Structure 1
């Protein structure tokens, strides 16, 4: 009796029930086409903004699924710089953020290029530029050479969720996977994304980072399915929202038969929910554009413009005059005058919350509080 799917005699001859997926696949493809049509109607500048927001979300949430919290402003800054977009006073980035961003951009902006071992090695090195995962040294930029188990729980009471194929078969199995991924044009490209995600993470060829790379491979394939490098929906954000079901279904499927109907059903459903959620991203992009259209004749100094760009992009937490001064590299008095001027011009308003300090909210033209940020000024 086999414990894991890769021990099945016919591995990796996956199968599924087309009739069970047909309706759901049709719905997802319709949603995909409708959303891409809305994106196309935005124009070049707004499409770029939607892509920046989506990729920022993808990078943040794919890392968050693995328990790593990256600084949102640094991720957006790195992506904006690499895409040639306005950074709006965003902070400098670090080596870790740059590596994750480089992998995601290579997957989505170079989606037409074949998937090779060297490309995957490069992604792995980008994820772990120091050669360490936390305090643990890794074998970076090559297939693992030892056994691999997915475990949870405290030391001494670990639970083994999955055991990957042994290291000695990785070269053959990864070559088989890459040959299939770079070929098989007969398979629907969305189904192929779901299958590729599962197949790669089941092989688990690296010491660490397999989940993030599997999601990048799925994003690469979905970019091919979209037929455009412009991204407007985030699978990683939706997977994070459904994280427990994601892990449960992976474990069940990796211990099951070669019939992947349950996994593909979930993957298509998750994609449909990601496409629905993407409508909010497009609404934010349009609201931001409307904001600048409304204030195109408003006189703003360079500090105010840079800080407003940052606020419109979803500044996290509360902004004090001290924070304004620090980000704008100006004095506290200058920060206070900047804020007072924006209040007078109807761009910021005092929050009624009161307290020991004065709070301010950004006034959106269409809807208040899309970034859920309020600002304290000391």
Structure 2
């Protein structure tokens, strides 16, 4: 028996002696992060939020096995928020759709949730009406049975089964009434409960996980009372993907005491917040760099590489890697790198085939 099949569903309960201390830690860390960010200028807040949202969207999609282009996601967010960035690129409809969904959730976190709003998000996720090569029903509830699985095709692990399609309308009505009502439940706890509740219903043919995490971010934005995001729960869930599916499965097969789920969620949230210090430090470094070198003329390729060096550049930068990233010849890449060397922006490491470059 799954929890949605129990007589008292969805009357969740938990042990406050276990949850309250962890919630207190989360709220303390949350307040500390918001306090630090408020002490910075708006530009730095925007920079940090842009990085957080980019990671949030990419990692949320990765949980479902969808790999999105970092530059496209970042550029799409920046365009929609009116943020000027170096090395902006065009983005495809799929990227724009997931960006539109998350930004609607966060930028309009005060607005009530409705089935029409959820349908809009679902349409945005699947602008062609297809999930990969498969045609799906968009902007409406599923009309078939649903098993929640993970793992490669042919080797899927079934974690639980969602309610029958005939029950979805009623299940969503109850969920929306709860979601939009004012209770005494702490908003961070409400985010954790909403996550579990919506993923349990699994009302759409596809995209349920990404929509669930958008709902989570909406309630966390309410808890922060901010349209800017400085920590990413999706990023941490992706890191703990196996544990995520494991705790979902055990919770679905248990009773309606969700203490273990809430504890896991809050600990996951705490871990995501510890990454924010690193993000803030890197953002400060990047903002300082561009301010210090604002009089220097960098071409678009150089701007792109410098931005990558400040973000998530893996390994060492060399001529061939520069050429591949910027889609230019090795001669052009070498000229760009020599120009950056002459300007004192980067320094050379090693010689010959082992030559690489790093920021000064």
TM-score by length of 2: 0.92
Among 136, 144, 164, the alignment partner of 2:134 is 136
Among 98, 101, 106, the alignment partner of 1:100 is 98
Equivalent residue runs for 1:156-235 within 5 Å: 159-235=157-233
Q: Which residue number corresponds to residue 306 of structure 1?
A: 303
Tell me the distance in 2 between the aligned counterparts of 1:91 and 1:204. Answer: 34
User: CA 1:316–1:16 in 2, change beyond 3 Å: closer, same or farther?
Assistant: same
Among 252, 268, 275, the alignment partner of 1:254 is 252
CA RMSD of aligned residues (A): 2.3
Tell me the distance in 2 between the aligned counterparts of 1:300 and 1:152. Answer: 48
Tell me the distance in 2 between the aligned counterparts of 1:322 and 1:153. Answer: 35
Q: Which moved more, 1:136-145 or 1:315-324?
A: 315-324
| Cα offset, 1:112, TM superposition | 1.0
| Cα offset, 1:38, TM superposition | 0.8
Tell me the distance in 2 between the aligned counterparts of 1:32 and 1:57. Answer: 19
| Cα offset, 1:81, TM superposition | 1.0
> What 5-or-longer segments of structure 2 have no aligned partner?
none
Among 73, 80, 87, the alignment partner of 1:89 is 87
**2:87 touches 2:301 (CA, 8 Å); kept in 1?**
no
Tell me the distance in 1 between the aligned counterparts of 2:174 and 2:130. Answer: 29
User: CA 1:316–1:195 in 2, change beyond 3 Å: closer, same or farther?
Assistant: same
* Structure 1 position 361 matched with structure 2 position 358: yes
* Structure 1 position 273 matched with structure 2 position 271: yes
User: CA 1:350–1:216 in 2, change beyond 3 Å: closer, same or farther?
Assistant: same
* 3-state SS, counterpart of residue 258 of structure 1: coil
Among 253, 262, 274, the alignment partner of 1:264 is 262
**2:59 touches 2:238 (CA, 8 Å); kept in 1?**
yes
* 3-state SS, counterpart of residue 356 of structure 1: helix
Q: Which moved more, 1:21-30 or 1:298-307?
A: 298-307
**2:305 touches 2:322 (CA, 8 Å); kept in 1?**
no
Give per-residue Cα distances to partners, 1:278-305, cap 9 Å, x unaligned. Answer: 1111111111122234334x53244476
Q: Which residue number corresponds to residue 49 of structure 2?
A: 51
Q: Which residue number corresponds to residue 290 of structure 2?
A: 292
Tell me the distance in 2 between the aligned counterparts of 1:154 and 1:295. Answer: 47
Tell me the distance in 1 between the aligned counterparts of 2:151 and 2:109. Answer: 37
Give per-residue Cα distances to partners, 1:162-214, cap 9 Å, x unaligned. Answer: 11101111101101101100113311000000000000000110011111111
Q: Which moved more, 1:194-203 or 1:305-314?
A: 305-314
Equivalent residue runs for 1:138-153 within 5 Å: 138-151=136-149
Tell me the distance in 2 between the aligned counterparts of 1:328 and 1:70. Answer: 18
State the number of aligned residues: 359
| Cα offset, 1:344, TM superposition | 2.0
> What 5-or-longer segments of structure 1 have no aligned partner?
364-378
TM-score by length of 1: 0.88
User: CA 1:329–1:146 in 2, change beyond 3 Å: closer, same or farther?
Assistant: closer
**1:89 touches 1:307 (CA, 8 Å); kept in 2?**
yes
**1:197 touches 1:217 (CA, 8 Å); kept in 2?**
yes
User: CA 1:73–1:19 in 2, change beyond 3 Å: closer, same or farther?
Assistant: same
* Structure 1 position 71 matched with structure 2 position 69: yes
User: CA 1:315–1:159 in 2, change beyond 3 Å: closer, same or farther?
Assistant: closer
Tell me the distance in 2 between the aligned counterparts of 1:154 and 1:22. Answer: 38
Give per-residue Cα distances to partners, 1:68-108, cap 9 Å, x unaligned. Answer: 11111111111111111123123211111111111111111
Q: Which residue number corresponds to residue 244 of structure 1?
A: 242
**2:221 touches 2:229 (CA, 8 Å); kept in 1?**
yes
**1:88 touches 1:309 (CA, 8 Å); kept in 2?**
no
Tell me the distance in 2 between the aligned counterparts of 1:61 and 1:229. Answer: 20
Give per-residue Cα distances to partners, 1:245-275, cap 9 Å, x unaligned. Answer: 1110000001110111110011111111111
| Cα offset, 1:137, TM superposition | 1.7
Equivalent residue runs for 1:15-30 within 5 Å: 15-30=13-28
After the TM superposition, which parts of structure 1 deviate over 6 Å for at least 4 consecutive aligned residues? 153-157, 325-332
Q: Which moved more, 1:167-176 or 1:334-343?
A: 334-343
